Amino acid sequence: MCFGTAAFVTYARVLIQCNDRTESTTAKLLQERLRAPALNHSQQLINSECVITPAVRRNTDNLFYSLVASGFIFVFVLLKKLLVYQMKTEVSKAADFVTSLVRITGLLTEEQLHHFCHSLEETLLEHYQHHWFPQAPCRGSGYRCIRINHKMDPLIGKAACTTGLTREQLFSLLPRELTVWVDPYEVSYRIGEDGSTCVLSTYNGPSCKGALTTGRSSPSEQINMMTVLG
């Protein structure tokens, strides 16, 4: 198959129409079939192996710009998926922690807690997608901070509907003062304005702990949540 022929154009157009190039078996097959002719395009023209008519040339030119645009979209989607993958560990940890605070009250079923945790995780992933900087973990830390200070955090409130509770009802099940920092490679929290800041979980890589070691304690020094909630 030669670059610019009807077969090439047909294959490429089908590829462009594939919505999910990362999962589609058809797309993967077409990519393999298109790779060689595209890379050898210049040599093919020199050897005159392909006869490109004016009509085919116009189609090829239009296809070229379509492929470029399609490539940008593909790269954007791929980078977005990669970013979500990078955030997922820390975000899941934070969502599990907030859910554990609600679980302590014993007023919600496990099914309600599961829906709440999943909804909170999805909400946080969406909220953080343009504010996650693994090479500069402290950057955007304030934006990513989950904060309850006698007022419900809007992200937690958004997830409340999945439990069948109102924001006010869910707010009554959580500490009146709670701060959770969700940063690349580290998740930490503080209950009460005068409480110790405790590192909930750390991962390999640079983190805010290196720059802000003062006032942070290890998980073994975490305060008793039952006492605070009581």
pLDDT per position as a tens digit, 8-61: 545 555 554 554 444 556 655 655 665 555 555 545 544 444 444 555 555 555
- Domains in the chain: how many in total? 2
Residue 82 located in a structural domain? no
Q: CB burial class (10 A; 0-12, 13-18, 19+) of residue 168? A: exposed
Q: Tell me, yes or no, whether 69 and 94 share the same domain.
A: no
How sure is the predictor about 119, in pLDDT bands with cuts at 50, 70 and 90?
very high
- C-alpha distances in Å from residue 226, one per residue of 82, 113, 128, 199, 215: 37, 18, 30, 18, 22
Q: Tell me, yes or no, whether 118 and 17 share the same domain.
A: no
Q: Tell me, yes or no, whether 133 and 110 share the same domain.
A: yes
Query: Residue 141 belongs to what domain range?
Result: 87-229
Query: What is the percent of the chain where pLDDT is above 90?
Result: 44
More confident residue, 75 or 111: 111
The two tokens of residue 81 are: 């998926």
Residue 115 located in a structural domain? yes
Average the pLDDT over 58-74 and give the result: 56
Of 44, 77, 110, which closes a domain? 77
Q: Tell me, yes or no, whether 32 and 94 share the same domain.
A: no
Residue 26 located in a structural domain? yes
> DSSP label at 163?
G
Of 50, 77, 104, which closes a domain? 77
Q: Tell me, yes or no, whether 136 and 179 share the same domain.
A: yes
Q: Tell me, yes or no, whether 164 and 110 share the same domain.
A: yes
Of 17, 51, 77, which closes a domain? 77
Q: Tell me, yes or no, whether 182 and 207 share the same domain.
A: yes
Q: Tell me, yes or no, whether 67 and 97 share the same domain.
A: no
- d(C-alpha 171, C-alpha 175), whole Å: 8
**In this predicted structure, what is the pLDDT of residue 92?**
96
Which CATH number does the domain housing residue 117 bear? 3.90.640.90
**In this predicted structure, what is the pLDDT of residue 72?**
53
Q: Tell me, yes or no, whether 39 and 103 share the same domain.
A: no
Tokens 């959770």, located at residue: 180
Number of Cα atoms under 13 Å in the Cβ half of residue 204: 0
Q: CB burial class (10 A; 0-12, 13-18, 19+) of residue 95? A: buried
Q: Tell me, yes or no, whether 218 and 106 share the same domain.
A: yes
Q: Are 8 and 40 in contact (CB under 8 A)?
A: no
Q: Tell me, yes or no, whether 130 and 24 share the same domain.
A: no
- d(C-alpha 213, C-alpha 215), whole Å: 6
Backbone angles phi, psi at 179, to 5 degrees: -130, 130
Instruction: Kindly give the residue spans of alpha helices, DSSP state H, lying in the chain.
Output: 6-17, 25-39, 41-47, 54-103, 110-128, 141-144, 154-159, 167-171, 208-211, 225-229
pLDDT per position as a tens digit, 95-113: 999 999 999 999 999 999 9
The answer, as to whether pTM is greater than 0.75, is: no
Residue 1 located in a structural domain? no
More confident residue, 214 or 1: 1
pLDDT per position as a tens digit, 136-180: 999 999 999 999 999 999 999 999 888 888 999 999 999 999 999
Q: Tell me, yes or no, whether 15 and 111 share the same domain.
A: no
